Chain A
Amino acid sequence: MSTTLRGLDRSTVSFGPLLEQKLKGRVTVEERPGFDIPTLVTDAGTLKEAALFLRDDPAAAYDLFLDLASVDRSKLPGHVEGGPGGRFQANYILYSTKRNEHLRLRVNLPEKDPAAPSLTGVWPAANWFEREAWDLMGIRFDGHPNLQRLLTHNGFVGHALRKDYDKGQRWLCTEEDLLQTELAAKTDDPADMFETMTLNFGPSHPTTHGTLRIVMRVDGERIVAAESECGYLHRCFEKMSETHTWVQVIPYTDRLNYCSPMINGNGYALAVEKMLGIDVPQRAKAARTVLNEFSRIMDHLVCIGANLVDLGALTNFWYAFQPREEIYGLLEACCGARLTSSYARIGGLAKDLPENFVEWSRSLLPTIRDRVADVDGLITKNKIAWKRLRGTGVVTKEQALAWGFTGPCLRASGVAYDVRKDNPYEMYGDVDFDVPIATEGDNFARYIVRIEEIRQSMRIIEQILAKFPKGPINSDDYRVILPPKEMVYNEMEGLIYHFKLVFEGVKVPAGEIYSYTEGANGELGFSLVSDGSGFPYRVKVRPPCFPLFAAYEKIIKGGMVSDAVATLGLLNIIAGELDR
């Protein structure tokens, strides 16, 4: 049971002395175990100064704002009411694309009126994350331009992720409680009436692929202003996680990004495995990698296929969905369900792979290749597609970083950040693959990056299948994973382990972690906090879509309404993980 965990040498920050010099003891470096990311602790008064230092100093250069994970510590063991440290914590997760390092910037906030300065001015990506933290945790951000509820509606009372909020308390939402933007109010302004009009877009609209809503102010067909709203699929993943055991959270993670459920399950299992300090056998790693890549292919196919339907190219939808159905066959043979796999387990996988897994997987690749070639042949050189995709929805490199993009959308803007490349996990370190990037940052770039990623995923799959490891699939640590059935049925000790696992759950040692993997849309991060019991104390997901959709209103501004549709599809917003 080795602990092959990366980042052991990063337990302290390299720019510590410099920080010490600039901010004289107002920022401390917290001791973290090796598998977690380094952590700086500061107070609300110094936060902004520290943030500016971290962003601007070349020795730090944290240019990407990834996440804001808030914690209500009131029920943690050892927490004293009104004691030092405060009740709330705001953890800013940052990343430096230049130095390939993650960092957690932590602020402790008091119980009474928790307030921190807004970092929207430092990293524009912080905007929606702060709104979310205000909505669900009740942390106020001073200086925020628009601190309103984001995921819940205006009829909601209280902050749902606080530990004293009853998880089942619903509030009635009427139409008046939905987004009432200033844009909409302007409609009645007679002076403005003939120039521009308000256009509501969604939440029940075919191109929003679920439940997104954008209110636009349009001048003819040109968008002069837009405001987007999410939360129409906020199904309380994070609160639900706190009331289920660590293993029971896995079915919930499947439903985050439902186009590629295996990736979410893997990301979550990996995070918990790191906290437990266990490692899974090579075979499980290989299986997870292959299934991850198949999921990534499926996700990209849905993104491209569905988006082309919105643009009027229906044929591609059939071509894109045919290989998807065949991959479903493989996934179903592994886990028993087409879409919601529940296949990952902490310490391995739910069941061993089917016997013909390797041959089956290999047999899928030609179909995928053919159908991708079909889509490629129909679209990539098609003049209509150029007109619709080239030069629309442009996001420059600087904008993409400022808005917190990750994944294919960031790579399409010219930043080669891919967790699989920069911090390999599972078996990504053992394979050769290309990370495609494009420099233009428009919709066409996002399209060709995705097409190329499908091809690279197939390359990864081929390489792993060529030397697919044999052996056990699961860790043999029965405090973590259910023992085999012959032990449970026939032996007292097997039964005891089984019993303890089912009734008490996996006992994850108290602590916290930020663990990240490459989702189909970008960096999928899990900020987990454990209090040592069988239930997670706090689960915060860093959904890759969230910053993408937050920036959407800025991307489409000035463009045409029809381009907004193309942009929305190729950003690939998945409401399940956007709203959680």
Chain B
Amino acid sequence: MKTPLPSLSVRNAVPGRIEPPLGPGMPSTSGADFLTTKLDVAVQWAQSNSLWPMPFGTACCAIEFMSVVSSHYDLARFGAEVVRFSPRQADLLIVAGTVVDKLAPVLKKVYDQMAEPKWVISMGVCASTGGFYRAYHVVQGIDEIVPVDVYVAGCPPTPENLIHGIMELQKMIQSGDLARHRASRTFVPIRVGTDPDLSIPAYSDGVMAHTAGKKELPSIGETAESELGASARTAAGDGNR
């Protein structure tokens, strides 16, 4: 089924975008008593200092990412040198480079394969907003597809800038504000359909679920939630949407 997405031709247009109802943030392990609070702090400290990045490198930014991990900038100083190319082993997704419509299902799949807790850094303007590619085949920001924790500007960002972004993320994880931050972050999935009230997120699980045969897009009005039961969503590790 061929589905048109909203045209970008109108200057600065973000048509059809509405804020989705936000799910709960990362489930907190904190309890009321002292011990678990301290445990929380220890866990956050450990998580923030052992981020295992998975570089989803597509374009120019990936070359700068190589610079970040090589000797001049040495990401190992931040405990993040264990670059994993398997999403299942990583907890930090660094999307470096332009993501085009053809790659969108792949990015969604990679994100879904990562285990919680997971974070997303959008490196460079192409990944963040589409940059200066306001064009027929370019995703206008990966937050159409996956929620983003930190946006790093620049085209491509200097290695320092990416390290700065990672440090900001570390601070965020350590401060324990993640749940609050996630509730407020911009996740604006691109929607299919002309009527904003009835449109559905284009990259919902219903459409993207890997199925054997052809799957028609749900008709407008049918929500993504009705596609899968609540239990199926939890099993997919997708609690934050």
Contact = CB atoms under 8 A, between A and B. Distances in A.
Interface of A: 151-153, 155-157, 160, 165-178, 203-206, 209-211, 231-236, 239-240, 251-252, 255, 258-259, 302, 306, 317-318, 321-322, 324-325, 328, 338-340, 575-576
A155 B60 contact: no
A232 B4 contact: no
| Interface band, chain B | 35 or more
A322 B8 contact: no
A2 to B, nearest CB: 36
A204 B110 contact: yes
Contacts of B214: 176
Q: Give me the 7 closest cross-chain CB pairs, A-B, nearest first.
A: A168-B8, A236-B135, A258-B60, A170-B5, A172-B3, A168-B9, A321-B70
A166 B59 CA distance: 25
B118 to A, nearest CB: 16
A220 to B, nearest CB: 23
A174 B207 contact: yes
B64 A338 contact: yes
Contacts of A153: 101-102
A231 B85 CA distance: 21
A143 to B, nearest CB: 27
B102 A325 contact: no
5 contacts: A172-B217, A174-B217, A211-B103, A240-B133, A258-B59
Interface in B207-232: 207-208, 210, 214-215, 217
Contact of B102 (A209, A232, A321): A232
Given A210-B59, A258-B60, A338-B64, A175 B138 contact: no
B106 A166 contact: no
Nearest to A248: B132
Nearest to B56: A204
Query: DSSP majority for the A interface?
Result: loop
Given A152-B102, A235-B135, A576-B59, A170 B66 contact: no
A459 B136 CA distance: 44
Given A157-B2, A174-B207, 9 more contacts: A155-B2, A160-B137, A168-B8, A169-B5, A205-B85, A317-B70, A325-B72, A340-B156, A576-B59
Contacts of B9: 166-169
B134 A168 contact: yes
B202 interface: yes
Interface of B: 1-10, 13, 56-60, 62-64, 66-67, 70-72, 85, 97-98, 100-107, 109-110, 126, 132-138, 155-156, 158, 192, 202, 207-208, 210, 214-215, 217
A175 B108 CA distance: 10
Contact of B105 (A178, A318, A339): A178
Nearest to B98: A235
A167 B135 contact: yes
Interface centre among A151, A152, A173 (most CB of B within 10 A): A173
A176 B102 CA distance: 11
B70 to A, nearest CB: 4
A258 B158 CA distance: 14
A188 to B, nearest CB: 9
Given A152-B102, A171-B101, A322-B72, A232 B215 contact: no
Given A175-B105, A232-B58, A259 B217 contact: no
Contacts of B67: 321, 324-325, 328, 338
A339 B155 CA distance: 9
Contact of B133 (A231, A236, A317): A236
A340 B102 contact: no
A66 B156 CA distance: 31
B57 A239 contact: no
Contact of A210 (B57, B85, B158): B57
Interface centre among A204, A239, A259, A306 (most CB of B within 10 A): A204
B81 to A, nearest CB: 12
Nearest to B10: A168
A340 B134 contact: no
B135 A152 contact: no
Contacts of A251: 132
A430 to B, nearest CB: 32
Given A167-B9, A325-B72, A234 B137 contact: yes
B104 to A, nearest CB: 6
Contact of A178 (B102, B133, B207): B102
A369 to B, nearest CB: 18
Contacts of A172: 2-5, 101, 192, 202, 217
Given A176-B214, A235-B98, A258-B60, A165 B136 contact: yes
A443 to B, nearest CB: 21
Contact of A239 (B6, B103, B105, B135): B135
Given A155-B2, A210-B62, A302-B63, A233 B100 contact: yes
Contacts of B105: 173-175, 178
Given A157-B2, A240-B133, A340-B156, A235 B56 contact: no
B106 A204 contact: yes
A373 B56 CA distance: 32
Given A157-B4, A172-B217, A322-B72, A255 B59 contact: yes
B63 A258 contact: yes
Contacts of B72: 321-322, 325
A151 to B, nearest CB: 8
A357 B105 CA distance: 46
A243 to B, nearest CB: 9
Nearest to B210: A175
B63 A235 contact: no
B137 A203 contact: no
Contacts of B192: 172
Nearest to B58: A211
B8 A576 contact: no
B71 A233 contact: no
B62 to A, nearest CB: 6
A558 to B, nearest CB: 27
A171 B5 contact: yes
Contacts of B133: 235-236, 240
A234 B5 contact: no
Given A235-B135, A575-B59, A203 B103 contact: yes
B58 A210 contact: yes
A177 B5 CA distance: 15
B8 A233 contact: no
